[in-house]
Structure 1
Amino acid sequence: MSIVFAAPYSEPEDSVPEWGARPMKWIGVDGTVWPLTGAGSSSPRMLPGVKGLHMPRFEVYTSSTPLVPGEEILGYSTPARDVEWRLLFRASSAPDWEARHADFFDSLHPVETGRWLVGEGDAQRRLDLRGEFDGAHYFPRDPFVTGRAQIGLRLSAPRPFWVGKTISRSYQAEAEPDFIPSDPDDQNYYPTSVTGYSSARIRNPGNEPAYVRWTVAGPHPPGVTLGVGTFLVTVPFEIPEGSTFILNTDPTAPTTTLDGEDRTSQLGFQVFAPVPPGGASKLVIASGGTGDITVELDPLYWRAF
């Protein structure tokens, strides 16, 4: 009988990927910060079995008729997102366990939202969560004896989409040509005092349409025009030098202020358009002023990564 000795197969060293836990943090309603994974996490620590990172639930609306086979897709809506965590609380002493447990649950609230952060750097996304409590949790063993307890949490995201890194673009007024050209043979007259920002564009890399926030630094005379596509708004009042006008077109958090003072009523009824997902959209910016104009967009994603 012959015996063959062979070393077990192993992948080449350069083909082994570097794996590690996805960074996760919880920022509570009280402002406390809790690393849930990675080297910075201690107690509580996220256990396997996390719900809420992947696709949300879509409710698709359809119509049908006996005259046409199948159905017509009318659109969809996205209800609040259900989230579930399994957390391990552990400590080396009973007082320490009690303090960590109490402080963490004080960071949750059934109505107010904290923030779940997943990833880091430009890849980080966030989801605002509130706690859902039914009073059904029980401790199978006394944590003051074992120093450990696994606790499941149910949470809800009223706004179901993950929010990515804010995209910000600042634009300066383009040089305005002289009204009367210096060259008498030049017939290109410009009978206008409006300064243009023709290169203004913003990209939405998300999965859903997203609304923009405008920040206009004075000076600008009355008549600043801002918009996406054909949906425009004209600011009827002056923005003095040193002042800041902010217009948030998101219908979930509309804001119209000049130096912090609400000016919504002066704009009247407006209809704002979002930036469609998956590409760059041209912005409309026109003014007779010279202050910088900044536009920001928070891309909305279906998943945490």
Structure 2
Amino acid sequence: MSEYILTGPDGTEFDIKSGPIRLSSAGIMGLSMPPFEAYTRETAALDGQVLTGYRTGPRTVFLPLLTPMGLGVDEWLASESAFWKIMDPEVTCRLTVSSSADVVRFLDLRFVGDGDLAFDLDPTDVTGYPFGLEMVADKPFWRGPLTSKVFQTAADTGNFYAPPGSSFVFTIGSASTVAGATVSNPGDTPAWPTHTVYGPAVSFSINVGGSVISATLALAAGEWLTIDTNPTAQIARKWVAGVGTIVPFFQFSSIQFAQIPRGGSVPVDIVLNGAGSVQVAFSPQYRRAF
């Protein structure tokens, strides 16, 4: 059996599979493939057409729900108020689907409408009615749990792989290089990773599939630098005492962004001058909830 959890922007969770407000019938939309828009080219000299590219459009999600029945008016109103409070056309909720195969995927959704809900009777008299929740995912892909690898500096560079029990995958010596590591993407689409360099460090180089991001930048212990390579962001921030400051890309000696191909792996080479560590992380994207 799958679980469906709807989480509001304030962290409030609603189990819409078995909770008071729950899925009522068939008709769930948004769990399968997203909409695709193809771009093609035609000429008089060519039969048919040539595909030049495609894009994935926003995903429509429809949830047929039923409000609780058999509750007292005060209890029913409290349940209703808490649920509708998280519905906002500007702020996203998160729908998390956990399948029986231990596959967990989530989708961020904005409220669109309730289907122009009309009541035949005063809802406080019947304390229970079906309605359709209409939502949209501006980013149409379901995402999985964070995939990451951490490359940790070690004083002794004799062991390339981290010792048993370590939370790190590889170890690197201060002012030395890790070569031959790989990062894999289990998702259905290419992934843009986020790189995090933890201090202490004075310089670093991150080579992902031949694309290099490097800089000479002082990071004290407890400070870190994040580099988001996603085209919708592509920004670097230095974090000191939990406060982030943008680091312009002109301060980097090399700034080349690279995707991790879907279902594939890329080599990763790390050079770190300091006793810190480097993390390469991303959330795999999937076209379906299962």
TM-score by shorter chain over 0.5: yes
The amino acid across from 1:114 in the alignment is C
The alignment status of 1:82 with 2:60, answered yes or no, reads yes
Partner of 2:246: 263
Deviation at 1:78, TM superposition (A): 0.8
Give the distance between the partners of 1:122 and 1:238, measured in 2 at CA: 42
1:274 to 242, 259, 263: 259
Conservation of the 8 A alpha-carbon contact between 2:114 and 2:132: no
Alpha-carbon distance, 1:145 to partner: 2.0
Paired positions, count: 267
User: Residue 66 of structure 2 aligns to a residue in which SS?
Assistant: strand
- The equivalent of 1:117 in structure 2 is 96
Higher strand share goes to which structure?
2
- Find the counterpart in structure 2 of residue 290 from structure 1: 275
Match of 2:133 in 1: 153
CA displacement, residues 198-224 of structure 1 (integer Å, 9 cap, x when unaligned): 1332110111111111121222223x1
Note the alpha carbon deviations across 1:172-220, whole angstroms, 9 max, x for none: 347669xxxxxxxxxxxxxxx9511113321101111111111212222
Counterpart for residue 216 of structure 1: 197
Worse-superposed segment, 45-54 or 163-172: 45-54
Structure 1's unaligned 5+ residue stretches are 1-19, 178-192
State the Cα distance separating 1:233 from its structure 2 match.
1.5
Distance 1:47 1:277, change over 3 A: same
Amino acid at match of 1:172: Q
Q: Which residue of 1 aligns with 2:288?
A: 303
CA distance in 2, matches of 1:47, 1:135: 16
What aligned pairs does 1:191-270 form with structure 2 within 5 A after superposition?
Answer: 194-222=175-203, 224-259=204-239, 260-267=243-250, 270=255
TM-score normalised by L of structure 1: 0.80
Cα deviation digits, residues 280-302 of structure 1 (max 9, x gap): 11123222223221111100000
1:130 aligns with 2:110: yes
In the alignment, is residue 34 of structure 1 matched against residue 50 of structure 2?
A: no
The 3-state SS of whatever aligns with 1:198 is: strand
> Aligned to 2:190, what secondary structure does the other structure show?
coil
1:93 & 1:301 partners in 2: Cα distance?
42
**Does the 8 Å contact 2:109/2:138 carry over to 1?**
yes
Q: Letter of the aligned partner of 1:218 in structure 2?
A: G
Unaligned runs of 5+ in 2: 159-173
User: Distance in 2 between the 1:268 and 1:68 partners?
Assistant: 50
Residues 1:230 and 1:246: Cα distance change in structure 2 (over 3 Å): same
Contact 1:47 1:85 in 2 (8 A): no
Paired letter, 2:84: F
TM-score (norm 2): 0.84
CA distance in 1, matches of 2:108, 2:24: 17
Question: 2:106 touches 2:142 (CA, 8 Å); kept in 1?
Answer: yes
Percentage of pairs with the same residue: 31
Query: Does 2:43 match 1:43?
Result: no
Regions of 4+ moved over 3 Å: 44-47, 173-177, 266-271
Measure, in 2, the Cα distance between the counterparts of 1:44 and 1:149.
11
